[in-house]
Structure 1
């Protein structure tokens, strides 16, 4: 079942109605929660960057992505599941969405919560362009 909510885009701050990320029912773990995505606009995003490093750390940290359209054009979303808590972010620009995902994935790499590149720069913005977008082998 797909439900929607009124929210605002993170990049343009415009009000939009977009698909909800299913919340955690606390009856299982992250693997169980991933099953709730079936039949929704959301897909699990397992990898990030040129080498397909971990985007998250299953079953505790899970990244998801969605793409939809409203009357003003395309919307790009990403969501996270972090130990049962879910968060959703929508963007009008795919590039802005990718930058936001990069920043959050980088945080988890830098803190050692998930496996990323060996030679991380000081900031996510300093990552090479090839590592600030989806893994080329990934499809949704």
Structure 2
């Protein structure tokens, strides 16, 4: 699998500066998650990103994380698998209180209601569905 990685942090600024490095890449910032647009991350320390890419085997759906200057990239063959992984990652930050999430969190990400397991596009005017 050949897929784009997140740009590395050059350590000259903070997460807001790192966001600027996403220009001209397939990566877009993913600030919110779930039906109500709860925080996905905690800027400028924790920043989620998302991308779509196609390689010789077909489409890939990715998410990336910037955590205090370190970056990691995760790719999946289905959008559903990617959303499950994002939900689990976001849930971890919600559960630890590092991101503002729903108040009625269950013990495990697998127990989250469906409304907590999907992208939130309310911050993009006219965009309420997944491509």
TM exceeding 0.5: yes
Aligned residues: 125
Within the candidate set 11, 16, 35, 1:31 is matched to: 16
For 1:19, what is the secondary structure of its paired residue?
Answer: coil
Counterparts of residues 89-108 of structure 1 (less than 5 Å): 89-108=74-93
RMSD, aligned CA: 1.2
Indicate the SS of the match to 2:25. coil
- TM-score, normalised via structure 2 length: 0.92
Q: Which runs of 5+ in 1 are unaligned?
A: 1-15
Q: Which residue of 2 aligns with 1:52?
A: 37
**Alpha-carbon distance between aligned partners in 2 of 1:20 and 1:41, rounded to the nearest angstrom:** 9
For 1:82-134, what per-residue CA distance to the aligned partner results, in whole angstroms no more than 9, with x for missing partners?
00000000000111100000001000000000100011011111111121110
Gap runs ≥5 in structure 2: none
Any idea what the Cα deviations from partners look like across 1:9-64, whole Å, max 9, x if unmatched?
xxxxxxx0001210100000000000000110000000000000000000000000
The partner residue of 1:124 within 109, 122, 126 is 109
Equivalent residue in structure 1 for 2:50, among 61, 65, 70: 65
Alignment of 1:73-84 (within 5 A): 73-84=58-69
Tell me which stretches of 4 or more aligned residues in structure 1 moved more than 6 Å.
Answer: none
**Deviation of 1:136 (Å):** 4.0
Once residues 136 and 42 of structure 1 are traced to their aligned partners in structure 2, the CA distance between those partners, rounded to angstroms, is 16
